[in-house]
Amino acid sequence: MHLFYKKSILFWFVLLILALFNATVRELTYKPLLTPYIGAWAHQISSIIAIGLFFFAIYIFLRRNFNLYKQKQLIRVGFIWMLMTFVFEVFMNLVVRNLSLAEIMKTYYFWQGEMWIFVLISLLFLPIAANKLLLRRT
């Protein structure tokens, strides 16, 4: 396996830590304040923050590994991160939270204000976007 893919798989755990940190901050701070007034907006805000945190972290990761990858590998890495996140999320919801598959599917209903699908999709495209910014700056 190519070194960049190995590093990318390990880097996913940094993304996981960022996501867990973001969720903890949400649950302990602004969700209790916002929920009585504007419902699920805390999760929407948290999703946008997560995408921003991911972009920043991915940019730094790519900058540090600039000579290890070709641009075409970035879409594969994004897909790997998206898949790893999806599997982790489904596992956590099934095993830890004891949600049914129907309940898990509801977290993807963007037409009902859910943002989770956009976080997943962002993982696919953030490596390309971060690389474009990196190329502009070098």
Give the pLDDT score at 36.
76
Cβ contact 119:50 at 8 Å: yes
- With a cut of 70, list the residues of the chain below it in pLDDT: 1
pTM of the predicted protein model = 0.92
Give the pLDDT score at 1.
64
Give the pLDDT score at 35.
82
Cβ contact 128:74 at 8 Å: yes
Residue 14 to residue 27: CA distance in whole angstroms: 20
Cβ contact 86:39 at 8 Å: no
